Structure 1
Amino acid sequence: MTPTPREAAQRRTAVLHRKLHDKVKTAVGAEGNYIILEDGQRVFDSTGGAAVACLGHGNAQVKAAIVAQMDEISYCHTLFFATNVFEDLARFLADSTGGRLSKVFIVNSGSEAMEAAIKLARQYYLELPTPEPQRTKFIARQQSYHGVTMGSLSMGGHVFRRELFEPLLLSNVSHVSPCNTYRGKHDGESDAEYVKRLADELDAEFQRVGPENVCAFVAEPVVGAALGCVPSVPGYFPAMKAVCEKYGALLILDEVMSGMGRSGTLHAWEQEGVVPDIQAVGKGLGGGYAPVSGLLISERIVDAIDKGTGSFRHGQTYQGHPIACAAALAVQKIIKQQNLLENVRKMGSLLESLLREGLGDHPNVGDIRGKGLFWGIEFVRNKSTKQPFDPLVGVAMKIQDAALSPKYSLSLYAGGGTADGVRGDHVLLAPAYNVTEEDVRIIAERTIRVVTDILSELNDKDN
């Protein structure tokens, strides 16, 4: 009996791919900004995967650092031994904050970093001279994304990623509104008025759950996958931190996607001078050359544990992995030595202007937003009312899939639920920090072309 195409696709691979019924294209190589497929197609990686490949692919300096570390030591357990490369990376990162975040904890993924942040926040209150064991609550934001483990998924407000697992998620997490001017700010409302309204909402949530019960407020400085590169308005994070300080709670910033240079400064919080108590970093930390993420931790928390039990009751097999640390340290040194943050800001400004010029007046483009080299485009059925497309149309995924075809050969990162958690579409762009003006013009031209073409096709079908 001849197998159906679906059955044939399932039989061809032993991998549990993200979509079992799709034939996934195979990448056989990569160089610079391009992913090379088995048929020879070269796809411009304008998203760095998931905002990861911040130096592009095949960087010789990073590869040399990894090889050198393998020649020295590939793995040892941090329960028994320290390594020079872990110490060097931690010192580099602590120094990058001016010492304001004085200790570093290195793991493998953003989800793991956020999971560790949750546990560290809880333990902090148990280590105080007068412990506060009643602090078990966390407040995060709707339409956020903080990871896929049970704790980090509980923190997030991404409806689609949560829905199958809702009965298993933590009950001690509540969510307030995101800072999203396109969807949340009232007509005629100033930035200051909007910030005050959101601060009042957070304050009211503290009161509702009991301010003495809250461990931390958790937020992304620029919301990535869930909303498509939505930055906060000026003054937002100072106001949120003030609420946290009013009630003795911690501020945890998830910079896994938006940090380590992606938003134009090494740490996104630098742009408002709001230092978190705990900061999670990830994707741009190692640029995809090794799985690596981490926490940057304030002296306030370190001091409490130092004077308490003297031990963070959390550990992982691959914590502080030497090869991952070597990759991350090499990536960060290149970013600093080549002054790539300046290029992020300069090329980000050019990308913004080109996108606005080419798509700003499109009737189905509702908003173009972002910072640095982190830009999102939100699509709407009706521009004046901001009505989103029906989720069944799958606008963002159609654009993502079309962009990967040989006609465009471009990666675009699609997302849904942008409007209300269920409806709404966006794509985001997150190219390498070392892109040139020519590269940015290629990205913009191909993005404008595929977006225009697919939206035109959809509108033609409607008519």
Structure 2
Amino acid sequence: MGGKVFQRNFKATMSLVARGEGIYLYDEEGKRYLDGCSGALISNIGHCVPEVIEAITEQLKKIEFAHTSRWRNKAAEEAADEIASIAPEGMDYVWFVSGGSEAVESAVKLARQYFIERDGMHTSKALVIARWNSYHGSTVGTMALGGSIPRRRIYSPLFKEFPKIVAPYCYRCPFDKKYPGCGVVCAHQLEDLIKNIGSQYISAFIAEPIVGSTVGALTPPDEYWPIIREICDRYDILLIADEVMTGFGRTGANFCVNHWDVVPDIIATAKGMAAGYVPTGGIIVRNEIAETIRGGSGAFVHGYTYNGNPVSGAATTAVLRYMKEHNLVANARIQGEKLGKGLKEIEASNPIVGEVRGKGLMWGVELVMDKESRRPFPKGKGAAGLATKECLERGLVIYPGGGMVDGIDGDNFLIGPPLVITSEQVDELLAKLEEGLAEAAKKLLGSVE
């Protein structure tokens, strides 16, 4: 199976996808699957939208590639205008790349260069603080930032570690406290670490506003991001929001940080930017940072072959205009409320669903062996994998993850359908999920006994 393709997992049994339409995928035998996770929360406007395909095709007829070291191109400039029109106030500059890992690397390098441009080559501000139970990419550099133990374990000898604080994992608080009496100590830990290291050595703090696949839509307390912003300001540290997964309407706002009225210094983003039609990503940059470089050396000492690719630009513009025309951010908020309510009902009735969390059309489900103690299933049980299998058999695709409890045990999955989902399709998703999880619970708890 698979011919000469180096498979992502040679031991996994997977169907061959034949086509997609709207929120549905079809295998080679014609079976229909509701794409309950938009691939990896990327197919935000659904599959095979004619307007986007036409825009890409028309761009290919004009120019498919022109290197940005020698050429500007209209498609990238139009895409940047579209992004700036929905970005937080004062963030009008966009640097285009091919995906999320490149976006995060670009953000980290820009943070370093900004302080060099501002303060001179003597500046010692270089370290980036990140968080455990996070994911920022699969390059060696971004894995050093990320705190997803299962993904980084075998590669850790390859990279220089970055300092980390804990994530706001209220369901399993590492401080053994309960919100709101905790005082959001997980946010204040950033200041403790800054003091220990010395702010003169730190360029930025990076975090996902809502954690994606690592913990399954881990959503912080409302005070968290405003506290983080204030600490970064006080210690002259840039705030990088990793919105690779949460950006472009996924959580029911243009960008997830909007929920807390926080404006970062840099947003790293991808996925929903071109919604899977062309590999695309980018960083959205606060004006003062871009203008410091414009007024200094004039050049970002960084680059990729596909920076500002015109086909990616055409795809991005078409996707964002489609989103505006069809009010998809509002739809994500409205249908997300219904989806969240239905998921909470499943949580109440299913014995292995420990917690449901999320915003908009980004929800996480954590699976546990025992609800009262919150004891996770041992890794060997493959709980998230079994839940995925049972849902697939019923025509629903979900996005499993694990290892978040202690680096080994812990099972979760993401639910994040395309933003075009209707109320009736939310009902269909919930019905399939309820059936799949009921069967998974029966098998998992039966095997434990």
User: Which residue is equivalent to 2:237?
Assistant: 249
User: Which residue is equivalent to 2:216?
Assistant: 228
Say if 1:125 and 1:132, in contact at 8 Å, map to a contact too: no
Q: 1:237 aligns with which of 191, 207, 225?
A: 225
User: Which residue is equivalent to 2:18?
Assistant: 28
User: Which residue is equivalent to 2:110?
Assistant: 120
SS at match of 2:317: helix
Offset, 1:28: 1.3
* Residues 349-387 of structure 1: CA deviation (Å, up to 9, x unaligned): 111111111332322211000000001110111111111
User: Which residue is equivalent to 2:7?
Assistant: 17
Say if 2:362 and 2:414, in contact at 8 Å, map to a contact too: yes
User: Which residue is equivalent to 2:402?
Assistant: 416
Per the normalisation by structure 2, the TM-score is: 0.97
Q: 1:292 aligns with which of 275, 280, 297?
A: 280
SS at match of 1:288: coil
SS at match of 2:163: strand
* Residues 308-357 of structure 1: CA deviation (Å, up to 9, x unaligned): 21100111111111111111111111111111111111100111111111
Structure 2 letter corresponding to 1:410: L
Q: 1:337 aligns with which of 319, 325, 328?
A: 325
Say if 1:90 and 1:104, in contact at 8 Å, map to a contact too: yes
SS at match of 1:415: strand
User: Which residue is equivalent to 2:170?
Assistant: 181
Structure 2 letter corresponding to 1:395: A
Q: 2:87 aligns with which of 72, 97, 104?
A: 97
Say if 2:148 and 2:404, in contact at 8 Å, map to a contact too: no
User: Which residue is equivalent to 1:312?
Assistant: 300
Say if 1:118 and 1:151, in contact at 8 Å, map to a contact too: no
Offset, 1:110: 0.3
Q: Work out the CA distance in 2 between the residues paired with 1:155 and 1:113.
A: 13
Structure 2 letter corresponding to 1:339: N
Q: What percentage of residue pairs aligned between the two structures are identical? A: 34
User: Which residue is equivalent to 2:183?
Assistant: 194
Say if 1:378 and 1:427, in contact at 8 Å, map to a contact too: yes
* Residues 178-209 of structure 1: CA deviation (Å, up to 9, x unaligned): 012211276774437432x1233111111122
Q: Work out the CA distance in 2 between the residues paired with 1:201 and 1:435.
A: 39
Q: Work out the CA distance in 2 between the residues paired with 1:260 and 1:138.
A: 25
Q: Work out the CA distance in 2 between the residues paired with 1:70 and 1:300.
A: 35
Does residue 449 in structure 1 map to residue 435 in structure 2?
A: yes
Q: 1:92 to 1:192 in 2, by over 3 A?
A: farther
Q: 1:70 to 1:409 in 2, by over 3 A?
A: same
Correspondence 1:272-283 to 2 at 5 A: 272-283=260-271
Q: Work out the CA distance in 2 between the residues paired with 1:185 and 1:166.
A: 23
Correspondence 1:129-144 to 2 at 5 A: 129-131=119-121, 133-144=123-134
* Residues 130-156 of structure 1: CA deviation (Å, up to 9, x unaligned): 555211211101000000011111111
User: Which residue is equivalent to 2:446?
Assistant: 460
Q: How many residues align?
A: 449
Offset, 1:99: 4.5
Say if 2:229 and 2:262, in contact at 8 Å, map to a contact too: yes
Say if 1:378 and 1:425, in contact at 8 Å, map to a contact too: yes
SS at match of 1:230: coil
Structure 2 letter corresponding to 1:234: D
Does residue 79 in structure 1 map to residue 79 in structure 2?
A: no
Q: Work out the CA distance in 2 between the residues paired with 1:296 and 1:207.
A: 29
Q: Work out the CA distance in 2 between the residues paired with 1:235 and 1:185.
A: 18
Q: Work out the CA distance in 1 between the residues paired with 2:262 and 2:275.
A: 25
Q: 1:240 to 1:123 in 2, by over 3 A?
A: same
Say if 1:107 and 1:320, in contact at 8 Å, map to a contact too: yes
Q: Work out the CA distance in 2 between the residues paired with 1:133 and 1:13.
A: 52
Q: Work out the CA distance in 2 between the residues paired with 1:200 and 1:221.
A: 16
Per the normalisation by structure 1, the TM-score is: 0.94
Residue range with higher mean Cα deviation, 292-301 or 395-404? 395-404
Does residue 261 in structure 1 map to residue 249 in structure 2?
A: yes
Say if 2:347 and 2:355, in contact at 8 Å, map to a contact too: no
Offset, 1:302: 1.0
Q: Work out the CA distance in 2 between the residues paired with 1:350 and 1:27.
A: 29
Q: Work out the CA distance in 1 between the residues paired with 2:65 and 2:19.
A: 27
* Residues 216-255 of structure 1: CA deviation (Å, up to 9, x unaligned): 1100001001010011111111101111111111000000
Offset, 1:98: 5.4
CA RMSD of aligned residues (A): 1.5
Q: 1:98 to 1:368 in 2, by over 3 A?
A: closer
Structure 2 letter corresponding to 1:454: A
Q: 1:429 aligns with which of 390, 415, 422?
A: 415
| Alignment gaps of 5+ in structure 2 | none
Residue range with higher mean Cα deviation, 108-117 or 359-368? 359-368
Offset, 1:411: 0.3
Offset, 1:307: 2.1
